[in-house]
A and B are shown apart, each in its own frame.
Chain A
Amino acid sequence: AQSVTQPDIHITVSEGASLELRCNYSYGATPYLFWYVQSPGQGLQLLLKYFSGDTLVQGIKGFEAEFKRSQSSFNLRKPSVHWSDAAEYFCAVGTGTASKLTFGTGTRLQVTL
């Protein structure tokens, strides 16, 4: 069965600094990969997804992620963080053979001014 690991439970960055959130997955073939963001009291919003093709994926709000097959990783990056980016971020994997997405436990991002 597939699994997703987000090793960082909580990250604090200063506004304007760069950000990288880590995501590793376990699956034998190339998975479908997603990053979602959840603000307090809100549902999850899709930031970006990787299905195939270019391994560098651009998303909304200035986020990007890079699929690295050799490292089984799909890390999320942003060059300059804004205070409004404070939220919880979830990485998810889908295998295509199952109907569901499997989510990581999330990384809570705090942004200091």
Chain B
Amino acid sequence: GAGVSQSPSNKVTEKGKDVELRCDPISGHTALYWYRQSLGQGLEFLIYFQGNSAPDKSGLPSDRFSAERTGGSVSTLTIQRTQQEDSAVYLCASSLSPYTSGNTIYFGEGSWLTVV
């Protein structure tokens, strides 16, 4: 696609339920990032994929959070047993290769998660 696509754009879920957030990166982009943006906060790094592997998952806040990437393309971020503090915008981003090569990181519009 033309840009990074995320779905759903909005999700309201009950506390304790599991949610899945999907990211479709720009075609051909090998690097994929997940960030979380809470109200009044900056962007908090969650996980980085290079291809299908995740060499850096240091930002995942707890074992309730997991992510996978298949076929070097689509990624899914799963939050189990959601809590109210998980309410945030989850942003996905991709780049042709790691940004250190000079490539621009492009962001999607985010998935707004509300846990009630």
Q: Mark B9-39, 1 if CB is under 8 A from A, else 0.
A: 0000000000000000000000101010000
Contact of A49 with B33 in the complex, beta carbons under 8 Å: no
Contact of B105 with A101 in the complex, beta carbons under 8 Å: yes
Does B4 have its Cβ within 8 Å of any Cβ on chain A?
Answer: yes
Given contacts A99-B50, A99-B98, A100-B56, contact A90 B107 (CB under 8 A): no
Does B86 have its Cβ within 8 Å of any Cβ on chain A?
Answer: no
Count the B residues whose beta carbon is within 8 Å of the partner chain — how many?
Answer: 28
A106 → B minimal CB distance (Å):
6
Given contacts A43-B91, A44-B107, A99-B50, contact A51 B102 (CB under 8 A): yes
A36 to B91, CA, bound (A): 14
Does A28 have its Cβ within 8 Å of any Cβ on chain B?
Answer: no
Does A113 have its Cβ within 8 Å of any Cβ on chain B?
Answer: no
Q: Mark B91-103, 1 if CB is under 8 A from A, else 0.
A: 1010000111010
Contacts of B105 in A (CB 8 A): 46, 101
Contact of A32 with B100 in the complex, beta carbons under 8 Å: yes
* Minimal Cβ-Cβ distance residue in B for A97: B100
A101 to B107, CA, bound (A): 12
Residues of A within 8 A of B (CB): 4, 32, 36, 41-46, 49, 51, 90, 92, 94, 96, 98-106
